[in-house]
Amino acid sequence: MKRTTATRLYDGEKCWTHPRAGIIPATNKKEIPKVVMTMNSLDLAGSDVFKGMFGLESLNFGDTWTEPKLLPTLAPRVEKIDGEQRPVAVSDFWPRWHKKTKTLLGTGHTVAYTRDWKVTNPRPRHTSYSVYDRASGSWNQWRKLEMPDNIKFYNAGAGCVQRYDLENGNILLPFSFKPTGKNSRVSVAKCTFDGETLTYLKHGSELELNDETRGLGEPSLMRFDGKYFLTIRNDKMGFITTGNDGLNFAKIKPWVFDDGTELGSYNTQQHWVAHSDALFLVYTRRGANNDHVFRHRAPLFMAQVDTERLCVIRETEQILVPERGARLGNFGVTDVSENETWVTVSEWMQPEGVEKYGSDGSVFIAQIKWQAPNKLFVS
């Protein structure tokens, strides 16, 4: 494993968040694959204030990167909500290559703010998406996925989720939604995508947890060895469930190590790294001399999953990105080639003072080098 830094930002007012990359394969032997990364700028004076989306690219598999540039087509826009004009931003974005249409499709969700850029509830939320135009080297204007029930899915989005694309081009897109006055639930939507428009077809099991927490959120999906695996965020612990068709899932169970002890990952996301020989989970957790880190969201770990017992194999655990005070809980996974998979993450420079442990707002790329070719790689 090799760790590099794509860029960094920390000036006391802003830092980078949600850095995730998508690969655009070469169309011929003379062409070089392009890696396109997107990320939000975070206003450190507020909570989850994302006033801009930025992009950077690499033509040499991450050895060098262009300077981050503002992406006007993914910028916040003003919408009329409850009778007043309010800013709405795209965030938690994840670009991924769509093989059937040969396009780079990014999905995320919207954040609706008050007029002074505060996050309040209840608020509308949508799945946002955009397509990268290869000819112009820019993203198209972001759009919203239309859902079938505007009341039930008033607050619904696919932020920070790992989707799965079927061979026929249909997309299995995990999302979370919050019915009014109830805890958040998660489900998986089957969508069509024609290279321009993402269209909802149906959704599967509505998984819920009705307790004192906020419920379930940020689900990520992976298919391995003929079965679908869904990992889910919750305030107190992460959950895992499986299914056979990518839409319907069994009862959720807490993530644990193979010795039965709790994994210790809570109130943040987990994502999958899949190789044809094994399935891995990337996560953060308690118990790593990291009590000084917000919600124990660093270091960033990876370990192999026992796909029969649905647990993490403790002896395989390794650190992808070490902790330097700042949280590392919002990250992405990109299959770059059959020989390499990346985990991309930035140092989230809140709360004030995390820099005293050494963090500086770096955007890290943990480059996982496979000893055997990954037969699951899709180009």
Measured distance CA(360)–CA(357) in Å, rounded? 9
Residue 340 lies in a domain: no
Give me the pLDDT at residue 379, please. Answer: 81
Contact 244, 225 (CB under 8 A): no
What are the average pLDDT values for consecutive 10-residue runs of the chain, which has 379 residues? 97 97 88 94 94 96 97 97 94 98 98 94 94 95 96 96 98 94 93 98 96 96 98 98 98 98 98 98 98 98 98 98 97 96 98 97 98 93
Structure letter (DSSP) for residue 355: G
pLDDT of residue 32: 85
User: How large a percentage of the chain has pLDDT more than 90?
Assistant: 94
What is the domain extent for residue 193? 8-269
Strands 239-243 and 227-234: antiparallel
For residue 319, tell me if it sits in a domain.
no
User: What's residue 179's pLDDT?
Assistant: 87
Q: Give a yes or no: residue 371 inside a domain.
A: no
On whether residue 309 sits in a domain, the answer given is no
In-domain check, residue 278: no
**Residue 290 falls in which region: left (phi positive, over 0), alpha (psi -120 to 50) or beta:** alpha
Full-model pTM: 0.97
Does residue 139 fall inside a structural domain?
yes
Whether 307 maps to a domain, the answer reads: no
What is the model's pLDDT at position 182? Answer: 81
Q: Give the pLDDT score at 378.
A: 83
- pLDDT score at 180: 75
Burial code of 228-244, b = ≥16 C-beta within 10 A, e = fewer?
A: bbbbbbbbebbbbbebe
Q: Nearest-CA neighbor of 299 among 290, 308, 311?
A: 290
CATH number at residue 63: 2.120.10.10
In a domain, 88, yes or no: yes
User: In the chain, how many domains are there?
Assistant: 1
